Chains A and B, each alone.
Chain A
Amino acid sequence: QVEQVKLLDRFSTSNKSLTGTLYLTATHLLFIDSSQRETWILHHHIAAVEKLPLTTSGCPLVIQCKNFRIVHFVVPRERDCHDIYNSLLQLSRTAKYEELYAFSYNPKQNESEQVKGWQLIDLAEEYKRMGVPNAHWQLSDANRDYKICETYPRELYVPRTASKPIIVGSSKFRSKGRFPVLSYYHKNKEAAICRCSQPLSGFSARCLEDEHMLQAISKANPSNRYMYVMDTRPKLNAMANRAAGKGYENEDNYSNIRFQFVGIENIHVMRSSLQKLLEVSGTRGLSVNDFLSGLENSGWLRHIKAVLDAAVFLAKAIAVESASVLVHCSDGWDRTSQVCSLGALLLDSYYRTIKGFMVLIEKDWISFGHKFSDRCCQLDGDPKEISPVFTQFLESVWNLTEQFPQAFEYNEAFLLQIHEHVHSCQFGNFLGNCQKEREELKLKEKTYSLWPFLLAEQKKYQNPLYNPDFSPELTLLEPNTVSFNFKFWRNMYHQFDRSMHPRQSVFNLIMNTSEQNKQLEEDIKELEAKIKQRNGQSGVVLMKEQEQTARPAPVALKSPPCFQKEQPPMPVNDAVRTIEGSNTADNRYSELVSEFSKAEPAVVSLEYGVARMTC
């Protein structure tokens, strides 16, 4: 505990600050300012801590979080600052999974609720919904014991004609044994999205089983002879891989394939792109042109566009040409996950519902072994493994929600909340790198699943404009991917920089109005019932009337006739303060909600102070 600590506003030049007390708990960093407002930061969210040179007012400490919050404290005594710095360094770096918050987090659920929570998303059920197994596709038990591929789930769907030797042979010809398997099946077109890793083709190697495997996939689609093979890497990268004995499919060796590169950059490029983006957006007193050129130089929006373009290509191949598509990159767990999941999202409106989106993430990201632990740096590990691949997926979805405001059941808060928990290590879902690892950690017994918590408060995540009839089942969503449609996601990267956001949020207003409408409908029903009841009583016995007058006058009588109007359709600010990320209560977002008051900001967020006027 350190007192008299100042919290500086990241963008204000007026040096206004809040003074308060800083506490360190086992899981959180807590700052309580003089007006008793609390800021909670989960240790797992801390990406970097930096001590700046001593100033006259104290020792500045800058904390960068994985959810793009940046806090700037000034600690009066250098020794305190040093202690905090060291403690945070230790606390934010975890060496073992068992030390992560999820293993100590106790949401007061009993065991059966915990089990039920984990059963909420059932992938077998999901494949059934898609329409497999069927005449062409079957469940394979080849990987039941993770013998063929450690990073795949146990249950995999493959073409019926792909026998076990073919599977085994193909897996030996693919990076990390990740052979082609079903990711999504489109009932109406009978076409499939399959995924795998790159072939170990080098410059000339062939594998008959692998060729058979691809043929089996294309034959499993009765409506189209040829299939697409999408290599999501830039051609140059794929060619370079050949030198390492890896590479891409040779069209001459595989019958009826159409091979296509789509040019999404690798995790390292993405990591440094985000780094550049954050550097630009974090600059104080940024000019418009510096912002735009910084945005351009970071390449971030270009990458988002590339991912979405690839997904559109995939979705169109299936919806328009009824062709099956095999997607891979290098290892088949980053770009492949992005493209497969976004493609399915464009094809199938189920994934645009709250439950469906959870299923999509469980399927294409969690079960197929996107390395959440490495990419989000859950444990202290190789910084070169960190990459915002999943963040890009969420951002692509957000872009779609902007273009199709009525097509999604969920809203931006849902995406932000998922992003929050991918990094929070508070729930078991995203821990570890693959299913095998999760089983070994016994996550289902020792931790809780995020999804039931999100579902329990789904009101917050519902899009009031959602129209289920917007796109009937299995009709393709066709986004416009002209560059000007891609925008900087302010609510993600400046989530905590309140001064940058609109002071009044149309979204919150509509959401609350829509919520209020439901309540009013109920009220009307109730009132109508009461009136009906009274009408029925018109021939009442005197007795009953007496009894009624004896009762206190109904509330409605006492309140002014239009008291409903006095409750403006504004968000009710939750008086209960919740620990940030400590439960799924979206308290980060409610900070924004509380901003919705029509009050003047306390701090004039302009970049000049009158004191600096020049004459």
Chain B
Amino acid sequence: MEFAELIKTPRADNVVLHRPFHSAVEGTLCLTGHHLIFSSRRQDNAEELWLLHSNIDSIEKRFVGSLGTIVIKCKDLRIIQLDIPGMEECLNIASSIEVLSTLDSVTLMYPFFYRPMFEVLEDGWSSFLLEQEFDLLSSVTNEWRLSCVNKDFSVCPSYPPVVIVPKSIDDEALRKVALFRYGGRFPVLSYYHKKNGMAMMRSSQPLTGTNGRRCKEDEKLINATLRSGRRGFVIDTRPLAVAQQARAKGGGFEQEVHYPQWRRIHKYIERFNILQESFIKLVEACNDQSHNMDRWLSKLEASNWLTHIKELLTAACLAAQCIDREGASVLVHGSEGTDSTLQVTSLAQIILDPRCRTIHGFEALVVREWLQAGHPFQQRCAQSAYSNSKQKWEAPVFLLFLECVWQIHRQFPCSFEFNEQFLILLFEHAYASQFGTFLGNNENERAKLKLPQKTMSLWSWVNRPDELSRFQNPLYEANSLVIWPSVAPQSLQLWEGVFLRWNRPSKFLEEAEEERINIIRYNKELQAKVNALRRQLAEMEADEEAQEE
């Protein structure tokens, strides 16, 4: 298919671009296979806007006489308006955008066409291998092993080819356990707490069914993570009733009789369409400037978004508490083990592990606990808050995770190597990107699409020193402690950097942030200078002494 066929009007002049808090700009609009490009013709202050078609969530058109207006709502929540003279041009452009922004085939997406203008210093596709992670692990414990049982994705299609499992469990047992767990997602190591040797595992629900089926290998597998005489905790992200209902469909939960050393805790985390609706309601509330105070607060409340944030943080804190405070191993799962499970395990690691609060460590966490762990990005992030499609597999699961990280970041602003912008970047790229990183739903699909060969990795770009400097937190000072966030409603805030980003003038806030960075930078300069001067003085004195001798 040629993109040119889809673009009947590739260019329109005298188009006016409207954005909130910016004055209207007149210029030329061009459509290419992957971008909408607007450039102002003003010579003094030329302005260009490049918008990926895949970033467009919805488009509306209306006409006043022959002047057409297109309102474009993006997945990064921005809304722009284009006034296009000429009814035909406007219709053509609108329909092209509509088609181009909803292409079905992954291989037509921009990452397959994107040619980077930068030199790749390190290929991001091979920056985060589980083997490296395992090397680190083996330096502190020998209770675990790498298993290649899934090397051709036959045991679990949504798992990566290599996983970490208890050493005492062989591949044959793993195959049996996989048959006992939904989607073949047998328990694997998610995190090892060096401080006390406790482990966090994740999996999907066990397939006990109504007649209480059991699997000796499964019991053996998870018991292998326990110290003798100690108990472990199973954190089930469904309420008990839902877990019980799941038995009717062949699913279920770990029953006390068969797992006597495990204590099950049900910590309910919302999923799928409930989250998507919450997201849509929140964005709607944030976009309406005319709300009076009561309406704003009741809309914020009705969205339930902050409730989800609180529940999620609480569940993650609970998992972390079991590991760090109770000295117990933990197994986390919900139904499929690809959404709420990953939210909990990854957030718990942010709380427990200082390494996950560095830029590289956080990237590794996203790769390990989200991409390799089989969070179906392509399904979940197909549309954002403006879409009308309402597919049941769309859900802002990853965004919620990022926001929880942001909430912890706000409470421990000096303990993270990255800044808020880095989290926003990941949000943007998860929904629309020139990089292949977030394409596909799991490693299996990515391998089939040959993404590592055909597309560029986000990490190849982000980890270049030039880019990285933009995402560094100037306040960062490594903090080796466990960081316990407050989950009181008074301590949680709306993530303005995402939800109010386009709805308020941010100039003064940005300037203030710049000033903060300047103060820190100036401090470093001054310290360096003082040290240099001290040294100089000391040398002079030493010289004088030497002279004298």
Contacts and interface: CB of A to CB of B under 8 A. Distances in A.
A503 B537 contact: no
A292 B300 contact: yes
A289 interface: yes
Interface string B150-170: 000000000000000000000
A211 B162 CA distance: 88
Given A292-B301, A490-B491, A506 B486 contact: no
Contact of A482 (B289, B298, B484): B289
B526 interface: yes
Contact of B490 (A482, A484, A488, A564): A488
Given A524-B529, A545-B547, A598-B481, A483 B538 contact: no
Residue of A302, A516, A613 with most chain B CB atoms under a 10 A cut-off: A613
B475 interface: yes
Contacts of B534: 527, 556, 561
B224 interface: no
Contact of B263 (A11, A494, A564, A613): A613
B291 to A, nearest CB: 5
Interface string A490-506: 10001000011111111
Interface of B is mostly: helix
Contacts of A404: 508
Interface in A281-328: 281, 286-293, 295-296, 299, 301-302, 305
Interface in B456-494: 475, 477, 479, 481-484, 486-494
Given A483-B293, A527-B533, A406 B515 contact: yes
Interface residues of A, number: 84
Interface string B492-516: 1110000010011100110110011
Q: Report the interface size class on chain B.
A: 35 or more
Contact of A565 (B297, B489, B515, B527): B527
B538 A556 contact: yes
B317 A484 contact: no
Contacts, number: 228
B531 A562 contact: yes
B505 A598 contact: no
Given A465-B516, A534-B537, A556-B537, A296 B297 contact: yes
A615 B264 CA distance: 5
Contacts of A484: 286, 291, 296, 494, 500, 503-504
B36 interface: no
A524 B538 contact: no
A455 interface: no
B536 A531 contact: yes
B522 interface: yes
Interface in B433-463: none
B515 A301 contact: no
Contacts of B489: 286-288, 290-292
A528 interface: yes
> Could you say which of B264, B479, B484 has the most chain A C-beta atoms within 10 Å of its C-beta?
B484
Contact of A516 (B292, B488, B505, B523): B523
Nearest to B410: A502
A608 interface: yes
B544 interface: yes
Contacts of B504: 480, 482, 484-485
A534 B289 CA distance: 65
Contact of A524 (B298, B486, B526): B526
B387 to A, nearest CB: 23
Contacts of A305: 293
Q: Which 3 A-B pairs have the closest CB atoms?
A: A405-B512, A291-B489, A483-B296
Interface of A: 11, 281, 286-293, 295-296, 299, 301-302, 305, 403-407, 464-465, 467, 480, 482-488, 490, 494, 499-506, 509-510, 513-514, 516-517, 520-521, 523-524, 527-528, 530-531, 534, 545-546, 548-549, 553-554, 556-557, 561-562, 564-565, 568-569, 598-601, 604-608, 610, 613-615
24 contacts: A293-B298, A296-B294, A301-B293, A302-B293, A406-B508, A483-B295, A486-B293, A501-B491, A502-B411, A503-B483, A506-B414, A509-B413, A517-B519, A528-B533, A531-B533, A548-B541, A549-B545, A553-B541, A565-B531, A600-B482, A605-B488, A606-B318, A607-B487, A613-B263
Interface of B: 233, 256, 263-266, 286, 289, 291-298, 300-301, 304, 306-307, 309-310, 314, 317-318, 321-322, 325-326, 410-415, 475, 477, 479, 481-484, 486-494, 500, 503-505, 508-509, 511-512, 515-516, 519-520, 522-523, 526-527, 529-531, 533-538, 540-542, 544-545, 547-548
Given A292-B298, A292-B306, A598-B477, 18 more contacts: A287-B307, A289-B307, A296-B297, A403-B508, A405-B508, A405-B515, A464-B519, A480-B504, A484-B494, A488-B490, A506-B475, A510-B520, A514-B519, A520-B529, A534-B544, A545-B548, A604-B317, A605-B484
